[in-house]
Amino acid sequence: MVRFLSTLFIAFLSAGICQGQTVDQRYPVIPKPVSIQVSEGYFHLSHNLKFATPNKLLRPVSDSLVKYVSGLTHFPIKYHSAGSRNSICFAKDVSIPKDGYILRITPSKIIISYSDAAGAFYAFQSIKQLIQPLYVLDAKQHKSNYVIPCCEIRDSPAYEWRGFHLDVSRHFFTKEYILRLIDWISSYKLNKLHLHLTDDQGWRVQSEKFPLLNETGSWRTFNDLDSACLLQAKKNPDFAIDRRFVRADETYGGFYSKKELEEIINYATAHYVEVIPEVDMPGHMSAAIRAYPELSCTGSTGWGKEFSYPICPCKQETMQFAFAVWDEIASLFPSPYVHIGSDEVEKDTWESSGICRQFMKEHALTDIKEVQNYFVRQLQQHLESKGKKVIAWDDVIDGKVDSNLIMMYWRDWLKDSPGRCAGNGNSIILTPWSPFYISGHHSDSTFRELYEYDPKTHFPKEVMNKVIGLQSCVWTEEIPSEERFEYLVFPRLQALSEVCWSKGRDWLGFRQRLDVRMKDMDAGKINYRKPSQ
């Protein structure tokens, strides 16, 4: 009798869930799929749920789904042969686009169709977002029961490159927190994690060839930005500097060991996220110059008209340093992509250097800007000889560059830069300062501006033909804590995912789906900014 009442109660709730719900509330998937064919009924995650034994390629994805569902329902789940009732199974379909999937959910079965393992993984993320709780009226067990609304989802990404950039130089984050970040970005189908590992304020990657990069370059005395954070912390605790990275009360720093970076890379790979390292050269190199002053033209760090003193590419030993540093990085990161920075390079010290004047004469360079492009070209050729594809900020298009260099466009006040990149034959990753720099002011208007960004309305066809994707950037000058990071990033991360993945925009539908996803953030204790209704 108890079992009958329980079943009746579940049926009652199943019938009632969809009353008054919109499609976005019933299927709250972010990013929005290409299409959802709505069906009545639910697939129940019951005690007799079975998983069809997957092939070797999909076993990690399937094991993750089994672990998730088992942890949610507290029911033990085993693999069985395909075709069983109340089962979840996989089906290979080579016609599905890269990273895409088809998800067919009926009351008796879930079929995940895929063409590659990443597509199956993304189907898993959609399933997680579709699961809804029902509570079983069972006097003995009081266990929760979960259902998934029936439907057919066909989905694939709008862009190949769906990126998230994090600056760990200005302020540092633990390995464990980077793993959490990978969980977040992969759950919303982003697939690139761009780590800005070095800058004036700190060198964050272990170097065995140049140990002073860590002994000296990884640490700094509190600077003006640290002081600004300490001042703001008096009113807002989110600005408090993480004391795990402070020693002697006034020195800030830290770095990832190679072992820690290997853990990050392996974890990311299991979540279909590619980790792209950036070591910014020849500018933004004060941390390295503090450790090895001979790298600069002046023999010291310093500040020019706008930016810090760069390293001196006119010295052969400096070029050898750059090659050796990148040899270590290239061997550590398996991604074919590397980012060499090359933005905001102060050239005053080159202009006043006798070494550089002689260098320009020997290499027939007539403009000081050509020194930067010579450096970029040499470093690009060196890295390409290691099998790498090289990315740089679009500042370098102001000179002559190789067409194989991938441009990351951020200077949105220079409207002609993407056109010049495309005209030169360069592939482009779009990360325009506004609205993709999500470390800045977070408001309802900036949130919606990011969501509604459509590059096709900003750039002509010849530029869009060279665009491989989009990426947000988080710069951490004034983000000294995990709490501040989360406040600025969420829920803009969810908006970013839809801009990168989905082929259309629906602000009202997105807000309905986000209302459900905010419950996930509450459960995960994420310090997000709650947007107004």
What is the model's pTM? 0.95
CB atoms within 10 A of CB 26: 17
Find, among 257, 282, 262, 438, the residue nearest to 356 by Cα. 282
Residue 395 has pLDDT above 50, yes or no: yes
Tell me the average pLDDT of the chain.
93
pLDDT of residue 85: 82
Kindly indicate the confidence band of residue 259, based on its pLDDT and cuts at 50, 70 and 90.
very high
| Over residues 267-271, mean pLDDT | 98
Whole-number Å distance between alpha carbons of 328 and 342: 19
Residue 179 has pLDDT above 60, yes or no: yes
Contact 200, 287 (CB under 8 A): yes
Whole-number Å distance between alpha carbons of 326 and 328: 5
β-sheet bridge partners, residue 256: 205
Whole-number Å distance between alpha carbons of 516 and 501: 19
CB atoms within 10 A of CB 152: 15
Kindly indicate the confidence band of residue 384, based on its pLDDT and cuts at 50, 70 and 90.
very high
β-sheet bridge partners, residue 144: 135
Residue 18 has pLDDT above 80, yes or no: no
pLDDT of residue 5: 38
pLDDT of residue 145: 82
Extract the tokens encoding 437.
Answer: 């720099």
| Over residues 329-354, mean pLDDT | 97
Residue 2 has pLDDT above 80, yes or no: no
Residue 528 has pLDDT above 60, yes or no: yes
Q: Which residue has the higher pLDDT, 504 or 205?
A: 205
Kindly indicate the confidence band of residue 319, based on its pLDDT and cuts at 50, 70 and 90.
very high
Kindly indicate the confidence band of residue 83, based on its pLDDT and cuts at 50, 70 and 90.
low
Q: Which long-range contacts (CB under 8 A, 24 or more apart) does 81-84 make?
A: 81/52, 81/53, 82/52, 82/53, 83/52, 84/50, 84/52
CB neighbour list of residue 495: distance below 8 Å, 6 or more residues apart = 447, 450, 451, 510
Kindly indicate the confidence band of residue 4, based on its pLDDT and cuts at 50, 70 and 90.
very low
Residue 426 has pLDDT above 80, yes or no: yes
| Over residues 457-476, mean pLDDT | 98
| Over residues 503-522, mean pLDDT | 96
Beta strand pairing status for 87-92 and 50-52?
parallel
Contact 391, 276 (CB under 8 A): yes
Residue 332 has pLDDT above 60, yes or no: yes
Residue 438 has pLDDT above 90, yes or no: yes
Kindly indicate the confidence band of residue 397, based on its pLDDT and cuts at 50, 70 and 90.
very high
pLDDT of residue 10: 43
Residue 488 has pLDDT above 50, yes or no: yes
